[in-house]
Amino acid sequence: MERQTNTKLVTIGVFTATFMTAIEGTIVSTAMPTIVGSLEGMEIMNWVFSIYLLTNAMLTPVYGKLADKIGRKPVFLIGISIFILGSSLCGIAPSMLTLIIARAVQGIGAGAVMPVALTIIADIYPTEKRARILGLNSAAWGVASVFGPLAGGFIVDTVGWHWIFFINVPIGLALLALISVYLIENKHEKTKQPMDILGSVMLMISLLTLLLSFQMIGDEGFSFKILIGLIVTTIFIAVFFFVEKRAEDPVIALHLFKNNSFMLVNLIAALISGFLMGVEVYIPMWMQGVLGTSAGLGGLALAPMSVLWMVGSFVGGSLMVKLKMTKVLLIGLSIILIGGLCLVLLPVSVPVILFFIISAELGIGFGITITTTTVTAQNGVESTEVGVATSFNTLCRTIGQTIMISVFGVLLNSLIAVSLNQSNLSVDKGMMNQLVNPRTAGDIPKEILVPLRTILFDGLHGVFIAGLMLVAAALLLILFLQRPKRAISAKIR
């Protein structure tokens, strides 16, 4: 009798892998002060985070193509193996520079986990169950955002910062065994078409220059150097399309760009992911800088969003069985729009509980919307392209987050600078940094504390208005959406 996939154990493995890569951001953030004290190199420490995200995003579409070409299982195992190697190198890093290089290796491995994990879920669950499982998988990110800082602090205080990386090794090895034994795939037919190496390189360079340019915008504001970066990005994107037209087996089939529904749902996912970053970054800043709450309470306000995201995914899955995809998206986006309107209309001083309520309401909307766009992107392509479609959806969300967090940062800084120039206060931007840190806000003279909080509030108000415009644009895109021509009924192996 032919062996079959153990759906439950593979699902647990997928969830664990997602959680392991998701927690890297928050757990390292908590340990960074200790790491800097040990390795020094404060001037380049931001690259510990940036390089992980960059290599992750660059490799995502390549892994998606490989998953369709040679199978989900080998690509997933390769990604986990590289992640384990990167984690080991991080743990033994003797300097900040070597840590950054090791984080790049970690990011290369992590780039396989998210898209291939979602593709495996698409393979082993039919559409009506898939949305619920995607909701549980998404919850791993929410749990990581809450658990990461706690775990990071505990590990650093007990066994040392090296173990925030070393702990991935035994977990990763267990995952390798679990997926190797219990995920049974149909054999992929061997193809004579070579891997599109040139197209993959052009795509990776395009993503590298694009994401770096927008990251520098967030750090430095717009400059001639960034303009050059965007021009270089445009050139490499043009070369990428030129190469793909002639490739035997392109890394991203160009006909996908002509698929109206596929492109629009991914654009909606990018817009909403951009708004999500605004919510995750600037609600805590509002609570800490404007209301004067602790950093812990500011982060805790996002916990309801993480929990209710899972509920929203369940709701979205149930609705997709009964309603058209466009109606489900309309429901999800409308819920997000209401939450965005609340953030725009809130006055400068509000009860903290309101942020928990808005966070919960937004979580339901995000759960419905992101899950629906993911399933729709998977169902809108042929079964041989599910890996590419899933990785493209993940990539669009990453690009949306990267671009919008930079735009929001520039917008906030500009609004604050204008308000400071118009005020009669003898302060500078450095004092705004002092304001958003609960530990140093108390050192600000009381006579200028309230005016500074008002200036910060006005800046945040502008950010949330911009975020609301993203949601409105996503709602408008629904008018141009059509139901996917085919739906993939995944077999439970």
> Phi and psi for 72 in degrees, rounded to 5?
-70, -45
The conformational region for residue 221 under phi > 0 = left, psi -120 to 50 = alpha, else beta, is: left
On the question of pLDDT at 13 being above 80, the answer is: yes
Mean of the per-residue pLDDT values of the chain? 83
Give CA–CA dist 308/311, Å, rounded.
Answer: 5
Q: State mean pLDDT over 104-121.
A: 87
pLDDT at 492 over 50: no
**What is d(CA 336, CA 356) in angstroms, rounded to the nearest whole number?**
15
- Least confident segment among 261-275, 368-382, 415-429: 415-429
User: Region 57-85: what's the mean pLDDT?
Assistant: 88
pLDDT at 333: 96
The Cα–Cα gap between 449 and 208 comes to 41
Cα diameter, the chain: 81
- The count of C-alpha atoms lying within 13 angstroms of the C-alpha of 306, restricted to the half-sphere facing its C-beta, is 16
Residue 2: pLDDT over 60: no
Q: Identify the pLDDT of residue 488.
A: 39
């040679």: which residue's tokens? 70
State the average pLDDT over residues 37-56: 76
Nearest to 276 by CA among 373, 197, 187: 373
**3-class state of residue 259 by DSSP:** coil
138-157 average pLDDT score:
72
How confident is the model at residue 192, as a pLDDT?
A: 60
Given a cut of 70, whether residue 145 has pLDDT beyond it is no
DSSP states along 136-203 = HHHHHHHHHHHHHHHHHHHHHHHT-TTHHHHTHHHHHHHHHHHHHHH---PPPPP-SSPP-HHHHHHH
pLDDT at 483: 58
- pLDDT at position 477 over 90: yes
The token pair at 322 is 């009964």
User: What CA–CA distances, in Å, run from 214 to 150, 155, 231, 410?
Assistant: 31, 33, 12, 10
- Residue bearing tokens 């080998």: 74
Q: pLDDT class for 153, splitting at 50, 70, 90?
A: confident
Closest CA to 100 of 40, 172, 155: 40
Percent of the chain whose pLDDT exceeds 70: 87
Q: Is 101 left (phi over 0), alpha (psi -120 to 50) or beta?
A: alpha
Model pLDDT, residue 350: 87
The pLDDT, as a whole number, for residue 474 is 96
32 pLDDT higher than 80: no
pLDDT over 60 at 258, yes or no: yes
User: Tokens at residue 28, please?
Assistant: 């390292």
User: Would you state the pLDDT for residue 187?
Assistant: 66
| Higher per-residue pLDDT: 122 or 145 | 122
Is the pLDDT reported for residue 491 higher than 70? Answer: no
CA–chain centroid gap for 163, Å, is 24
Using a pLDDT cut of 90, give the percent of the chain over it.
Answer: 22
pLDDT score of 465 more than 60? yes
d(CA 244, CA 251): 8
Question: 265 with 481: CB under 8 angstroms?
Answer: yes
Identify residue 110 by its one-letter amino acid code.
A
pLDDT attached to residue 1: 47
Residue found under tokens 């995920």: 183
Give the residue among 195, 199, 196 at the shortest CA–CA distance from 241: 199
pLDDT per residue as tens digits for the range 374-424: 888 888 888 778 888 888 888 888 888 888 888 888 888 888 888 888 877
Q: CA-to-CA distance for 8 and 3, rounded, in angstroms?
A: 15
Over 60: is that where the pLDDT of 122 sits? yes
What is the per-residue pLDDT across 301-337, written as a single tens digit (0 to 9) for each?
Answer: 877 887 888 888 888 888 888 888 899 999 999 999 9
The residue that leads in pLDDT, 434 or 465, is: 465
Q: In sequence order, what are the residues at sequence separation of 6 or more whose Cβ sits closer than 8 angstroms to the Cβ of residue 284?
A: 295, 298, 299, 301, 302
Residue 123 contacts residue 186 (beta carbons within 8 Å): no
